[in-house]
Amino acid sequence: MKKMLTEKEAVSWGAYRSRVQVIAASTPEDLIVEELATLCTEDKRGAKFVMVRSEQAALAVGVGASATGSRVFTVASAHSLVPMHELLYKASLSRLPVVVVDINRAMVPGGLTWTGQIDSLAHRDTGWFQFHCESSQEVMDTIIQAYRISEQVLLPGIVVLAASAASHAVKPVDIPNQKSVDRYLKPCRLINKLDVNDPHSFAVLDTPENCYESYYKMQKAMGKALQVAEKADDDYGKLFGRGYGLVEKYRCQGAETILVTYGTITGTVREVVDQQRARGKKVGLLKVRLFRPFPARLIRSALSKARKVAVIDGEVSPGSGGILHQEVTSSLFKVKPRLKAAVFGFVVGLSGDDIAPDIIQKVVDYTTKRQEPEEKVIWLGVKR
Amino acid sequence: MRHVLPRSQVQNFKIPKMEIMGSGHSICPGCGISLSLRYALKGLGRKTILVVPACCCSNADGSLLYTAANVPVFYAAYGTAAFAVSGIRAALDFQGKTDVQVVLWAADSNNRNFEFWTMNGADRREENFICVCCDDQAAIKARFPKSDFRGGLVEIMAARGISYAATASVAYPDDFIDKFHKAKRINGTRLIHIHLPCPPLWKISANLSIQMARLAVQTRLFPLYEVENGEKYTVNVIPDRGFPVEEFLRPQGRFQHLTNMQTEVIQKDVERNWKSLLNRAAE
Amino acid sequence: MTQKTEQSRSPSEPYSSPHAQVPERHASGPNTPFQHPEPYFNDKTSPCNMGCPAGEDIVEAIYLTAEGRFQEAWELILQENPFPGVCGRVCPHPCESECNRRELDGAICIHAVERFLADYGRSIPRSRPKSRPQRSKQVAIVGSGPAGLSCAYHLALMGYGATVFEALPKAGGMLRVGIPRYRLPRAVLDQEIADIRALGVEIRTNTLVGRDITLDQLRGFDALFIATGFHRGQKMDVPGEEARGVFSGLEILKRVSLGEKIRIGEQVAVIGGGNTAVHVARCLLRLGCRPTILYRRSRGEMTAIDKEINGAQEEGIEIICLAALTQILVRGGWAKGVEFVKMRLSRPDESGRRRQVPKKGSNFWLKVDGVVSAIEELADIEFLPDDIKSESQGILVERGCFTSRKGVFAGGDVATGRATVAHAIGSGNKAALAIERYLKGEDFFSIPESLGTDQILPRKADSGVVRFNDLNPVYFKKELPVPLRARPVKTRVKGFKEVYSGYKAEEIVTEAQRCFSCGVCNMCDNCLIFCPCIAISRRRGKFGYKIDVTSCDGCGICVQECPRDALSFRKVP
């Protein structure tokens, strides 16, 4: 079934097809929840909606419901994801399969309108897996995949889509039918949950040694999540004809320079790569879809033949550099054989500033001119 | 040692023999939390899920997945317990387990203050749960504690017209259990405000905690009463004699600084409250 | 005895009534999980048990009664006291004066329970305690009063042969001839003596030792127990005492008891303030006389039991206190009047005591037809040989019952001085214990010294007696004791029927349930209910609780909240 949907509506459909049971939400994401409510009401599934005053509260509701064994859906964005911070740990260390859709927004002092990825990237250490999506279609598909991964490895996940740029754009979306989705995504069955017939406690303040162990097991689960995610995407591809991979190699064949990026920037970069290829320049694109757990092995192999790598970051960690840049560099040099490629880091279009193709063009030009990267971060399109 | 088992026991309290809570928790000696939890579970039965915010109870009940309460316990983050309650309630309702009670167990008075507004929100959502606020009167410490003795919590929630609001004390286990038993059969937001002896905070020896809790009721400082639908007041325990509040204040190390004049002010306050409570009950 | 052992209360604070105690500032120390003291169940001695001269286990008997187990309770009393029916009626119950419940709402009516149990025991088929295998040793007992008979009873239970010599035609001693029938129906006494006889005790009545048989003739017995009591009236030392119409109180009571006739006028002055005086007056009233009691001291100093004095006053007997007899007016050989002088109380002397001094010119006369001298009786011990040391008050004994001659023991009033029936029974009990040891050839010094005290040993030698301050009184609600029911004065003065009526089973159970059960666990569940650690649990199918010390955090609430002080704390090494 194909429909013209805004990205927000795509989110609603994704959650709806995943048969979510408890929806915890607060006001800023009303469009998604409204659409979802409409869908659920028509369907008479009896999904429970809990409307609360803040996102912290929303995730608290979600965590509670998930601990009781329900499939939970929550939405957040920037200034509303950040108050969840404590609860993010609560969910991950309690190993609750909560899925949060984050409408990516920049952290700016004046409010919550512009696009940016810092809200989700800043939470990379909370133990949640993170998908950064490029399009409405991908968002909807990823939500369904995220539930499967989450419930298999017992880790919560964030599905990220860019605010404004993507969320309000209307695009055709192919909605899979419910039967096939049900075949792909089995009902949520947790072994440990709040069950009066098998009483256990959740999220107890425990001894340091037990907490240490929890972190160790979470890290192990992250390792497993990588494989599970790969398999989930493969299966999805086989069933619905759409696979995305954890990373996507776009025209990397024989590429000397590979641009690495994530999220909605990818669309623009893709176009620039096409232009470059049309001019006969050996430029490719590597899109990082799964940011946590970071698919270092896949990235290493994708970049193994490249001479130069340009990482285009939409966010910066002040005092260090581009966030994706750090991750890519460290994954290239972590194990032998260490790759010899020169890795350039660029910061573009922070806080929703426009990332026009000419900025990406500058990236390509800059990388082509220089043999070795500089120490400092390269800011493009910034007003100095 | 006797050998003849008593048939007609001369019991001071008629309470259910069923014991849900087990031993092995790490709650401080003499603390009222474990007793109140134990009594509450006797009243509520096994079909209960506890939600405990960050408070004295959060590290006391068990380790890893294990719990001394012997019912599922969920430890909520600071200030989010009422939301976790909503989530659990929603999930249970979705699963059709409407007979399971969700109980918010805020086990010290920090939480009384901190969870209060979240509870307010839950009430606005018309959430179906029992909110238990254990009050160790931590706020009444340094200075002149007149107003802090007022059991404002029940009054505020009663004014909002919640279906059931009551006070309870661990020194009166039968009344305590009755109230939980009653609350269990009512729908909607229910509040039970528990007076909780805290030996280290009150600076009393651990063995005196029940006695002090009893004196709080007997001095009418913490009256035991209930309010149904914000209207029907019932005073459950009317002390035989009006002990002066000094009986409650003087043994506690934390009140050593009180002057006679201050004690008198508290006494007057207590009497006024008691009178107005009786008036409301008589209406 | 009232001092508590170290470990009997919480480590920091002793309990006291909520009014009095202000614990020291911040008394609670950090109770680390590894060093806290440990509570344990520690039964202590109840004050009633401590107060019973006959050594009955009162607290247990009351517990059994409260449980409706009347027969067991009765048999328990019989283990110590062969006269529950008698004691339930005539014992002045020192146990009740000790009862902690007095501080709340009035002592438990222990005598009512005892009387009920005895009446109950008489109404069911006999199942008296079986005596032990017979032993060859024989004991002679002089005097069949409560001391002599209870000694015989216990010796018989232990398997020894006991022969009791009684001067009067019927056994019972003072119980028979000193206590009128309206207080102690003869059927009760006869039954209880018959029960003792049924154990194989031989009672030879009409055998006065010293006249019908000499003490030396009793040498054939392996031991001898003398309990002859106080049966000799005292002279008043006033002019006219020798006149006709002047009787001794004991003589009156004896004749009334044995059914002999007395010639005495209508208006009778009874001189004295003890039980004998009151008994005589009430007996004479029942015989149609109009007695007046005259006593030289104040009303508060009358040694008679209060209940009896009140009964006499109810019946219309006038009691004139602070009136000392000065002479008896004799006309034609008969006493026709008495002269008294009024006394007043002096200012307290150094010891604080107020003496009576005659008021000058306050003499007054009473016109009477008879005079009864009911002042203190004395021991009649002229039959004793010299080697058994004695003084005017009675036989000298060591450690309660050992006389100066080996193998001869003494007990009851004649050895311990004037006392109650319960004291006499206790004395007999202790003598039986001492005689048994003697017969086994044990050393004199192996007999515990406490046998010489007024009390039987406390049941638990290591723990003290529980007093009211040791209890947690908040758990006891006020309930009035079962009322005493007397027959109306009009009917009761017409004959010698018992004045006080018995009790119904329900009344007695309710009364027994009032018992605090001081120091002895009665499974009220308080400790279990208030244990924050759920460390206390009931023992399956057995009495009492067990404490899981590994779960216990030593908070001490169980010790504090135990209403009856049946728990204690001990330090863990």
Predicted confidence band of residue B47 (pLDDT cuts 50, 70, 90): very high
Q: Among A224, A240, A256, where does a domain finish? A: A240
Domain-located, residue C182 = yes
Average pLDDT of the residues of chain C: 83
- CATH classification at residue C306: 3.50.50.60
Is there a domain that residue C548 lies in?
yes
* Structural domains counted in chain A: 2
Which amino acid is located at A120 in the chain? Answer: S
State the residue range of the domain holding C9.
Answer: 1-43+521-573
Q: How far is CA B255 from the centre of its chain?
A: 22
- Count of domains for chain C: 4
Whether chain C lies against chain B with 3 or more Cβ pairs closer than 8 A is yes
Average pLDDT (B233-237) is 93
A 268-327 residues with CB below 8 A of B?
none
- Domain membership of residue A304 as a residue range: 248-380
Taking the Cβ of residue C523 and every Cβ of chain B, the question of whether any pair is shorter than 8 Å is answered with yes
Interface test with C, best of B8, B207, B238, B257 (most C CBs within 10 A): B207
pLDDT, chain B, mean: 85
Q: Which residues of A touch B126 (CB under 8 A)?
A: none
Q: Which of C204, C258, C209, C247 is nearest to C229 (CA)?
A: C209
Does the domain formed by B32-282 have CATH 3.40.50.970?
A: yes
For residues C358, C361, C366 and C370, what is the CA-based torsion angle, rounded to 10 degrees?
Answer: 50
C-alpha closest to that of C482 among C440, C442, C441, C515: C515
H or E segment and range at residue B267: helix B260-282
Edge-to-edge strand list for the sheet holding A99-104: A48-51, A22-25, A72-76, A99-104, A157-162, A129-132, A290-292
* A265 and A210 share one domain: no
According to DSSP, the residues that pair with C223 across neighbouring strands are C139
User: What integer is the mean pLDDT of C336-350?
Assistant: 85
Rg (CA), chain B: 19
pLDDT in tens, C69-83: 999 999 889 988 999
- Chain A residue whose CA is closest to B89: A65
| Closest among B21, B18, B116 to B60, alpha carbons compared | B21
Please state, in angstroms and rounded to a whole number, the distance separating the CA atoms of residues C307 and C312. Answer: 9
Whichever domain contains C525, its CATH number is 3.30.70.20
Question: What local confidence, expressed as pLDDT, does residue A255 receive?
Answer: 92
What whole-number distance in Å separates Cα of residue A11 and Cα of residue A101? 8
Residue C57 has pLDDT above 50, yes or no: yes
Instruction: Give the pLDDT score at C8.
Output: 35
- What's residue C460's pLDDT? 46
| C28/B211 CB distance under 8 A | no
Which of B59, B67, B100 lies closest to A196 in CB terms?
Answer: B100
| Residue the block writes with tokens 């840049």 | A325
Residues of B with CB under 8 A from a CB of A: 46-49, 51, 54, 58-59, 61-67, 69-80, 83-88, 90-95, 97, 100, 118, 121, 125
Residue scoring higher pLDDT (B146 or C513): C513
B8 and C68 in contact by Cβ < 8 A? yes
Residue after which a domain boundary falls, among A240, A256, A277: A240
Is residue C133 assigned to a domain?
A: no
Question: What local confidence, expressed as pLDDT, does residue C35 receive?
Answer: 62
Q: Are residues A211 and A285 in the same domain?
A: no
Check if A364 contacts B (Cβ < 8 Å). no
Whether C241 is covered by a domain: the verdict is no
- On whether residue C70 sits in a domain, the answer given is yes
> How much is the average pLDDT of C236-245?
83
Residues B136-151: pLDDT tens digits?
Answer: 876 554 444 444 555 5
The crossing angle, in degrees rounded to 10, of helices A7-17 and A136-153 is: 30
Is residue C42 very low, low, confident or very high in pLDDT (cuts 50, 70, 90)? confident
Shared domain for A170 and A211, answered yes or no, is yes
Residue C147 confidence (pLDDT)? 94
Residue given tokens 């109980």 in the structure block: B103
- Asked if omega into C39 is within 30° of 0 (cis), the reply is no
Q: Which ipTM score applies to this complex?
A: 0.92
A232 and A270, same domain (yes or no): no
Instruction: State the alpha helices, DSSP H only, in C388-542.
Output: 413-416, 421-439, 489-492, 505-513, 526-530
* A192 lies in the same domain as A67: yes
Q: Are A201 and A158 contained in the same domain?
A: yes
Flag whether pLDDT at C33 surpasses 80: no
C503 domain-assigned = yes
Task: Name the minimum distance, in Å, from the CA of B195 to any CA of chain A.
Answer: 24
Q: What is the mean pLDDT of chain A?
A: 90
pLDDT band, residue A97 (cuts 50/70/90): very high
Query: Best interface-test mutation with A: which of B37, B49, B65, B80 has the largest number of A CBs within 10 A?
Result: B80
Residues in C touching B199 (Cβ below 8 Å): 28
Cβ pair A22:B78 closer than 8 A: no
Quick one: tokens of C492? 């009761």
**A241 or A31, greater pLDDT:** A241
Contact criterion met (CB below 8 Å) for A332 and A367: no
Query: What 8-state DSSP symbol labels residue C209?
Result: B
Q: What is the pLDDT of residue C449?
A: 59
pLDDT band at B227 (very low <50, low <70, confident <90, very high): very high
Q: Does an H or E element contain A226, and which?
A: helix A208-240
Are A192 and A16 spatial neighbours (Cβ–Cβ below 8 Å)? no
B neighbour chains, 3+ CB pairs within 8 Å: A, C
- Residue A262 and residue B104: Cα distance in Å, rounded? 43
pLDDT band at residue B113, thresholds of 50, 70 and 90?
low
Instruction: Dig out the tokens for C523 from the structure.
Output: 């499974």
Q: Do A200 and A303 sit in the same domain of this protein? A: no
Are B143 and B182 contacting, i.e. CB atoms less than 8 angstroms apart? Answer: no
Q: Please give the Cα distance from C15 to C11 (Å, whole number).
A: 11
Residue C239, domain member (yes or no): no
- The string of pLDDT tens digits covering residues A165-182 is 666 778 899 999 999 999
How far apart (Å, rounded) are the C-alpha atoms in residues C215 and C283? 35
Q: Do A214 and A279 lie in a common domain?
A: no
Written as one string, the DSSP assignment of C242-271 is TSBTEEEHHHHHHHHHHT------SEEEEE
* Cα–Cα distance for residue pair C273/A165, rounded to 1 Å: 115
Chain B environment of C506 (Cβ under 8 Å):
none
Identify the top-confidence range among A71-75, A200-204, C286-290.
Answer: A71-75
Q: Do C534 and B23 touch (CB under 8 A)?
A: yes
Helical pair A323-333 and A296-303, crossing angle rounded to 10 deg: 80
C535-556 core/surface letters (b: 16 or more CB in 10 A; e: else):
bbeeeeeeebbebeeebbbbbb
Decide: helix, strand or coil at residue C156: helix
- Which chains are adjacent to chain C, needing at least 3 Cβ pairs under 8 Å? B
CA neighbor of A329 nearest in space, from A319, A344, A315, A317? A344
Residue A255 sits in the same domain as residue A216 = no
Query: pLDDT per residue over A274-311, tens digit each?
Result: 999 999 999 999 999 999 999 999 999 999 989 999 99
Asked if B243's CB is within 8 angstroms of C535's CB, the reply is no
Round to whole Å and give the CA distance between B90 and B113.
25
What per-residue confidence (pLDDT) applies to C133?
A: 67
Give chains near A: 3+ CB pairs under 8 A.
B
Q: Give φ, ψ of B173 to 5 degrees.
A: -60, -35
Pick C31's closest partner by Cβ from B2, B29, B250: B29
Give dist(CA C368, CA C268) in Å, integer: 6
From C155, C146, C138, select the one nearest C53 (Cα to Cα). Answer: C146
Q: In the prediction, which pLDDT does A164 show?
A: 66
Domain co-membership, A169 together with A64? yes
Distance (Å, whole) CA C253 – CA C177? 6
Instruction: Find out whether B13 and C528 touch, Cβ atoms under 8 Å.
Output: no
> Would you state the pLDDT for residue C20?
34
pLDDT in tens, C310-320: 999 999 999 99
Q: How deeply is C34 buried, as exposed, middle or buried, from its count of CB atoms within 10 A (0-12, 13-18, 19+)?
A: exposed
Last residue in a domain, options A189, A218, A240: A240
Taking an 8 Å cut-off on Cβ atoms, the answer to whether C63 and B4 are in contact is yes
Give yes or no: residues C256 and C368 share one domain.
yes
Strand, coil or helix: what is C362?
Answer: coil
Q: Which of A343-352, B148-157, C94-103, C246-255 has the least mean pLDDT?
A: B148-157
What is the pTM (predicted TM-score) of this model?
A: 0.85
Is C479 near chain B, with CB under 8 Å? no
Mean of pLDDT values over A343-351 = 91
CATH code, domain with A219: 3.40.50.970
Neighbours of A340 (CB within 10 A): 10
A283 and A217 in one domain? Answer: no
Looking at chain A, the whole-number percentage of residues with pLDDT higher than 70 is: 97
Same domain, yes or no: A30 and A154: yes
Q: How far apart are CA C456 and CA C80, in angstroms?
A: 10
Q: Which residue, C358, C373, C388, sits at the end of a domain?
A: C373
User: What's the gap in Å between the CA of B220 and the closest CA on chain C?
Assistant: 15
Q: Which chain B residues are closer than 8 Å to C556 by Cβ?
A: 29-30, 205-207
On the question of pLDDT at B167 being above 90, the answer is: yes
C7 found inside a domain: yes
